[in-house]
Structure 1
Amino acid sequence: MNFDLTDEQSEIKGTAKQFMADRFKPEKVRELAEARAYDDSLYAQMAELGWPGIAVSEDDGGQGLGLVELAVLLEEAGYACAPSQLLGSAGAALVITAAGSPEQRAEWLPRLASGEATGAFGAIGPAAGGEDESTLFCDLPTADVAVVFDAEGALLAPAGELDFEAVEAIDATRSYATISAPAGERMPGDAGAGRDRLAVAIAAELTGIGQRAMEMAVEYARERKQFDRAIGSYQAVSHRCAAMLLGVEESRSLTYYAAWAADAEPESLPLAAAMVSARAADAAWETTASALQVFGGIGFTWEHDLQFWLKRSRVAGRMLGTPGEHRDRVAELAGLGAGSAAGAPA
């Protein structure tokens, strides 16, 4: 594999970074979070750029690119903590592509790719960690269609057919809901592959979240002075920032390896997806929490922007299971024995 982005991927990254910086400034993120709302006009602009369908085939109405290109986009969306329907819609499209019937693909993929419809995803039952448990469904309150993972695979349902309850999660930058029972039409294809591809997309967003939190902390550590010295010159702070960098780079490396595997070596995807799901969730949470420690008292306040990245990292890192559950899967797939390592946190 080539570890560098192609010219086309670099162009996508540059366009996405500028778009997010212009349209999702921290004050805009705060405005939308306080209203717990999306700006549909901004999502329409993303749709005009073809982003919801970037990993959807041209035959299905998309751009015909791959998961690497989608990961590039979602890393920038996470970096901006952009309140939008992009993850829910692009994520649902990934699963429908992998698991949907020809009829399901024809009905929903062109609409998701064009931005005409928006998507959601989540799990219920054993797929969510318990017999009757429901994960937080990403974007369900505003979606047109939802992917529902259950013990048998995945269902596809118009959002209006689901009995759901909107939830005000700690992450106010995105809409969430839980469902009371699975519903919809069974998708006959490979739901596991769809879920793995979705996991990589979530990890890409988590990588961007970690990158932004680290940059916030480093900038503050350079500017804030105690005893006539920048606090970043003290080992306790500089080592904390170094640990953030290690976590973010591990998350990024695993994310792009898994995205490459999805596109070029699908037999390697299950293990790669499990590994990145565990590491990206931990790294994003550890980095945002460490950044909060660098900021000290001001970092704990509602007035400080870091909270939005910290709270999103906590929710996004558990959309498809806890890091401990993902480590269990890594151990199983790698033949390392049943269960997580002793003492591994969940």
Structure 2
Amino acid sequence: MELLPNEDVGELRDVVRAFVDKVSPEDEVRRLMETELGHDRAVWRRLAGELGLTGLGVPEEYGGVGGGFQEIAVVLEEMGRALMCTPYLATVVLAAGALLRSPDEAARAEYLPGIVSGETVATLALAEGPADWDDPAVITTTATRTAAGWELTGTKLFVLDGTAASLILVAARTGSEPADIGLFAVEGNAAGLRRTAMTTLDPTRKLARLDFVGVPARLVGEERGAWPVLGHVLDLAVVGLACEQVGGAQRVLDMAVEYAKARIQFARPIGSFQAIKHRCADIALGLDAARSAALYGVWAAATASPELPVAAAIAKVRCSEGFMFAAAENVQVHGGIGFTWEHPAHLYFRRAKSGALLFGDPARHRDRLIEHVTASVESEAL
């Protein structure tokens, strides 16, 4: 009930949608996805300065505008609807989320104002393989204490906006136990850091490989206490991605319906044919289920509910599969033109497929859901 639509959220959605529609039309998305940076710095500064969107969820003492995850979810949904090329998910949800949940007050005071102002593009470097998002035991990047501080050595993969970030938060091993993980801040231009853009299915979202060879780093928080923070932030990122996917699924449904009304075959709109009606109806049903799952995740994130891991897993499965189905059916509704590079349908299909794999695929999150439910049942039995 706390997250039902209200006047403030509705106004925020209207403002964000108007802004996104203006700065992120299809031709701009196509232009930016061919660039190395992957986003427009001027638009990023406007997004921060004019709209204050990078300050959502950040307390006023660090320059933020307050609010919570419900507002962030609205922004992500509208950005997903337009495939907006922006480091918002990486900077606001991953990096700022990790800083806000870290016990390191000095790090928050140093880094959050730059994120809020738009001067800093930040990200979180966590995974070292395609299935390594949620298991601290597989992290092999090591942090070594030196006379000058800390140095990092290792490799991180699938780092969102990793080539554009001026601040990179890195999960690294500080001890021999599986959960001995620390969080470290690295400057984007640090000596020994090599950043390489990864070629992926979805050119609208930039991912990078980061190689660390004796890279100087600053410890954020406790030396061995980062994993609970990182696990929580990963759940937030999964829910944020689910909101993006809902926005994308809504757009492809609108696209399919518009085309079905306009395309004429045999002197009739193709939307009058039963097969096309069924496809559009199936997309709508899947979208409703995905939206409900995402809303559950947003509620859990916004209220700091202990149900967040379960809600995040449900959202990842339902929204990833719902968006994939919607994007594929949209291509089918459009027929031959939907398969061409010139049509935007394939861009949404690519985003849907890549998003389904980001932060762990649906199969992995089904396993996570089973693990959480089993643990809960066993705990109640005791």
Is the shorter-chain TM-score for this pair beyond 0.5, marking a shared fold? yes
Q: Distance in 2 between matches of 1:214 and 1:100?
A: 43
Q: Distance in 2 between matches of 1:273 and 1:262?
A: 9
Q: Which residue of 2 aligns with 1:105?
A: 108
Which deviates more, 97-106 or 152-161? Answer: 152-161
Offset at residue 265 of structure 1 (A): 4.3
Query: Does the C-alpha gap of structure 1 residues 82 and 176 become closer, same or farther in structure 2, counting only changes over 3 Å?
Result: same
Offset at residue 225 of structure 1 (A): 2.0
Q: Distance in 2 between matches of 1:206 and 1:227?
A: 35
Q: Which residue of 2 aligns with 1:218?
A: 257
Q: Name structure 1 gaps, 5 residues minimum.
A: 338-346
Q: Which residue of 2 aligns with 1:342?
A: none
Residue among 229, 243, 266 paired with 2:305: 266
Residue type of the partner of 2:39?
Y
Query: Does the C-alpha gap of structure 1 residues 83 and 65 become closer, same or farther in structure 2, counting only changes over 3 Å?
Result: same
Please state whether the residue corresponding to 2:343 is helix, strand or coil. Answer: coil
Task: For 1:130-209, list aligned pairs within 5 A.
Answer: 134-149=156-171, 152=179, 155-158=183-186, 159-161=188-190, 162-180=193-211, 184=217, 185=219, 187-188=221-222, 190-209=229-248
RMSD: 2.4
Offset at residue 215 of structure 1 (A): 0.8
Please state whether the residue corresponding to 1:127 is helix, strand or coil. Answer: coil
Offset at residue 3 of structure 1 (A): 4.7
Q: Distance in 2 between matches of 1:136 and 1:231?
A: 41
The structure with the greater share of residues assigned to strand is: 2
Q: Would you say the 8 A contact 2:122–2:165 is kept in 1?
A: yes
Q: Name structure 2 gaps, 5 residues minimum.
A: 141-154, 173-177, 377-382
Q: Would you say the 8 A contact 2:13–2:75 is kept in 1?
A: yes
Offset at residue 149 of structure 1 (A): 4.7
Query: Does the C-alpha gap of structure 1 residues 55 and 271 become closer, same or farther in structure 2, counting only changes over 3 Å?
Result: same
Please state whether the residue corresponding to 1:141 is helix, strand or coil. Answer: coil
Q: Distance in 2 between matches of 1:230 and 1:147?
A: 52
Q: Which residue of 1 aligns with 2:366?
A: 327
Q: Distance in 2 between matches of 1:284 and 1:131?
A: 30
Q: Would you say the 8 A contact 1:121–1:139 is kept in 2?
A: no
Calculate the TM-score normalised by the size of structure 2. 0.81
The structure with the greater share of residues assigned to helix is: 1
Q: Distance in 2 between matches of 1:317 and 1:149?
A: 23
Q: Distance in 1 between matches of 2:235 and 2:125?
A: 13
Q: Would you say the 8 A contact 1:95–1:195 is kept in 2?
A: no
Percent of pairs with identical residues: 32
Calculate the TM-score normalised by the size of structure 1. 0.89
Q: Would you say the 8 A contact 1:71–1:256 is kept in 2?
A: no
Offset at residue 93 of structure 1 (A): 1.0
Q: Which residue of 2 aligns with 1:33?
A: 33
